[in-house]
């Protein structure tokens, strides 16, 4: 009986050693003050080869589109929508539709109106979904706080 328990323990430990959480996207942030009343925040996704994330403009019924939510603040207000470069578009059988996506790296930009000289950072969260040619990972939410600098 002890041998069976030891064998089972070894198998469980071995299996968990091989289990890895896949994180094919890393996010980087920066900001640039344009003047005392405006700034631009940059949200960059660095994507491992073979993987992609989706545009903000993916139609309903497709994968989870990348989205940005900025925390409400008296110190700043987002101006307009978050800007993205032109995505690639292709038909994906798994969603039965054309989808727009980004590979390798993409930088999203958000213009910010500064209501206060006290504004030191812009915070919020983003949501995105990562897929490759054989699978998709569950959608992920990431909180961010981007220092505005001087």
Tokens of 38: 């405006």
Kindly list the distances between the CA atom of residue 138 and the CA atoms of 23, 35, 48, 70, 146, in Å, as whole numbers in the listed order. Answer: 11, 39, 16, 22, 25
Mean pLDDT of the residues in the chain: 88
More confident residue, 16 or 135: 135
**CATH class belonging to 22-147:** mainly beta
pLDDT at residue 119, rounded to an integer: 80
Task: Please state the pTM of the whole predicted model.
Answer: 0.84
């Amino acid at each position: 009986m002890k041998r069976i328990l030891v064998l089972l323990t070894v198998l469980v430990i071995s299996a968990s050693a091989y289990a890895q959480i896949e994180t094919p996207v890393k996010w980087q942030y920066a900001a640039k003050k344009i003047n005392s009343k405006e700034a631009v925040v940059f949200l960059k996704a660095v994507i491992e080869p073979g993987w992609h994330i989706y545009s903000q403009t993916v139609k309903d019924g497709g994968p989870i589109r990348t989205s940005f939510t900025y925390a409400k603040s008296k110190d700043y207000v987002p101006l307009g929508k978050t800007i993205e470069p032109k995505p690639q578009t292709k038909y994906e059988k798994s969603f039965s539709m054309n989808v727009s996506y980004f590979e390798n790296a993409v930088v999203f930009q958000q213009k910010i109106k500064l209501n206060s000289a006290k504004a030191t950072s812009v915070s919020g969260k983003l949501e995105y979904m990562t897929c490759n040619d054989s699978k998709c990972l569950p959608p992920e939410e990431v909180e961010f706080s981007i220092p505005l600098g001087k």
